[in-house]
Structure 1
Amino acid sequence: MGTQPHVALAQLAQVYGPLISLRLGTQLVIVGSSPAAATEILKTHDRHVPHVSYAKSPHRNHVSVGWTYECTEQWKFLRTLCRSELFATKIIETQSHLREKKVDELLNFLRSKEGEMVKIREVVFFSVFNFLGNIFFSKDFIAFDEVGQGGGMSGLIRRIMELWTSPNISDLYPILGRLDLQGLSRKAEECCGKICAAWQGIIRERRERHDGDSRMQRDFLDVLLDNEFTDDQINYLFLIGTSNYL
């Protein structure tokens, strides 16, 4: 399918229709290329279509909301927790001052760069990442000084997304998965470790002094600790949440 598989699939859909099947290696892939087909797959029959969206690492399925393929009790609990502690109307309203602060920081940075070329996508990502960082950990993780440098936290996040989305022969032939022939799994784990190290100290410190009522202003990390989430679960939730904004 070349370097632009989405284009190749769109061309196939024009010939064979909005719902087609392809054999990629040993895997049968169903492709929906219209809003109606997508609705049928992802909404109407989502529980009957295996592996619609899943984490490549099986041991991480139980710590993901959007990338799991099993509607387990753990998944239901995690979904309920996110709905009540992240997406509830009252919670969103209490975060309005934080959103305003991050927008002000973004605008002030852009004003300071008047007359210069700025990658808006990168600047917006910095703002969103710091906004989510404050929701989870009450902390900024990226400074606007990193804009245009291609390194630091933003570089690591982009790198992990490249590794996760790179064509992997193990996806086509699962029997080869343990061999990691392209080294993608190893590189992804190393990159994840570097990213998560940025907030690992915060988690460790919070665990040491956590008693459930010690903080006047609680963040989502406190909620996760109250519910006895492991470091791996916390890391994965934040990492996936932020990478979705790239």
Structure 2
Amino acid sequence: MLSDAWSWWWESTNSSDEFARVSLTFALISLVISWYAWMFIKNRGGAPPPPPGPRGLPLLGYLPFLDPELHSHFADLARAHGPILKLRLGSKVGIVVTSPSLAREVLKDHDTIFANRDVPDLTNALQYGGFDIVCTPFGPEWRMLRRVCVREMLSSATLDVFYDLRRQEFQRTVRYLYGQAGSPVNVGEQMFLTVMNVITSMLWGGTVKGEERASLGAEFRRVVAAMTELMGKPNISDFFPGLARFDLQGIRKRFGECALKFEGIFDSIIQQRMKIDKEGGNGGGKDFLQFLLRLKDEGHAKTPLTMNHVRALLLVRFSDFQHKN
């Protein structure tokens, strides 16, 4: 079809336009040749050849051919190209691993080599963009955040501290359901609310109490849900970093608006916790926020935990809980 359209345009132009026609043809051919020459030079230098993969279009790569059902689409590509394959997505290159043995090599045996990840463009709208464990490059700071998350913040001993919070929320739900005996109840909705109450209790339950906690939890969930939705949208700026300054889809702008709301809510909660701690109280219980602020105050000579780290880690924890439930 493309060749037919080209032939029609070629034959329909007047002879007086021959120079313009030849110039345009030469420019298009030169563009394609330059692109392939650049790709050839880029892949030289003694590096091993890249894995096989499907062909794409100049400049766009394989982007136009991606199927929304990525897991099924990648499985089909693996059957055609093997367990490890290359996809050029705009100006970025993606490597897809579908074999369990190769996945073990990437995620476990050589995990430090593959630890670094591209930071999505929209995180630049956050004051603390790139401060969480997902986006931080491998190094002392990443190891500090991993230690905080895995060995301290989510350790068995720390989670045991929140056992009473989880039990209280579960008992409250059971009492509500018992009181609704004989009436229709949306069990799924109640279970979701229970999980949300547990999350907010663990995050700042010892800082914010009663109706204020419920109100802040609802608003916080709405903001984070909007931010999570934007993070899941394909962003042209991620595939073509040279276009990031233009924010063609407006994703960074919308994300920034959500981030301002999030920071306002969170800074208010942090100020309450710091006031409670300064006055020598504990707010009636412990929470993740209190735990992180204590770690920040204790400090570390080489890789201190900053307030931006605190905000980023709690945002990640909230998003993780939301996705899992």
For normalisation by structure 2, the TM-score amounts to 0.62
1:224 corresponds to: 292
What is the letter of the counterpart of residue 72 of structure 2? Answer: V
Is this contact kept in 1: 2:117–2:137, CA < 8 A?
no
Tell me the alpha carbon deviations over residues 124-143 of structure 1, each in whole angstroms, 9 at most, x when there is no partner. Answer: 44433332322231247447
CA spacing shift, 1:15–1:237, aligned 2, 3 Å: same
- What is the Cα deviation at residue 98 of structure 1? 1.3
Partner of 1:33: 98
Q: 2: CA distance between counterparts of 1:69 and 1:99? A: 31
Q: Partner of 2:312 in structure 1?
A: 236
Q: Alpha-carbon deviation of 1:3?
A: 2.9
1:199-245 Cα shifts (integer Å, max 9, x gaps) = 32221122345349643744332232231455433222111111123
Residue 4 of structure 1 corresponds to which residue in structure 2? 69
Q: Does residue 241 of structure 2 align to residue 165 of structure 1?
A: no
Deviations 1:167-217 (A, max 9, x none): 001111111122211111111121133234333222112234534964374
* 3-state secondary structure, aligned to 1:79: helix
Name the CA shift for 1:129/1:178 in 2 (closer, same or farther; >3 Å).
farther
Equivalent residues in 2 for 1:42-191 (5 A)?
Answer: 42-49=107-114, 51-52=116-117, 54=119, 56=121, 57=123, 60-61=129-130, 63-65=131-133, 67-109=134-176, 112=180, 115-117=184-186, 120=188, 123-138=190-205, 139=208, 141-142=213-214, 152-191=219-258
Offset of residue 166 of structure 1? 0.2
Query: Structure 1: which amino acid aligns with 2:105?
Result: E
| Equivalent position SS for 1:48 | coil
Contact 1:19–1:33 (8 Å) recurs in 2: yes
Q: Deviations over 1:50-107 (max 9, x none)?
A: 644755536633x212x13522222222222334432222222222111112222344
SS in 2 for 1:29: strand
The 8 Å contact of residues 212 and 222 in structure 1, kept in 2 or not, is answered as no
Partners of 1:92 and 1:184 in 2: CA distance? 36
Distance 2:100 2:172 in 1: 38
Letter in 2 for 1:5: L
Instruction: Verify the 8 A CA contact 1:99 1:131 in the aligned structure 2.
Output: yes
User: How many residues in Structure 1 have an aligned counterpart in Structure 2?
Assistant: 236
* Counterpart residue identity of residue 133, structure 1: T
TM-score with structure 1 setting the length: 0.79
In structure 2, the partner of 1:210 is: 277
The structure with more radius of gyration: 2
Q: Does 1:201 align with 2:302?
A: no
Q: Structure 1 CA distance, aligned partners of 2:186 and 2:112? A: 47
In structure 2, stretches of 5+ residues that fail to align are 1-65, 298-304
Cα distance change on mapping 1:50 and 1:222 into 2, 3 Å? closer
**Larger deviation, residues 161-170 vs 38-47:** 38-47
AA aligned to 2:159 is: I
User: 180-189 vs 231-240, which deviates more?
Assistant: 231-240
Aligned partners of 1:176 and 1:220: how far apart in 2? 39
**Distance (Å, rounded) in 1 between the aligned partners of 2:273 and 2:220:** 22
Pick which of 217-226 and 90-99 moved more: 217-226
Whole-Å separation in 2 of the counterparts to 1:15 and 1:167 = 25
Match of 2:39 in 1: none
Could you tell which deviates more after superposition, 70-79 or 157-166?
A: 70-79
Cα distance, 1:27 vs. partner? 0.6
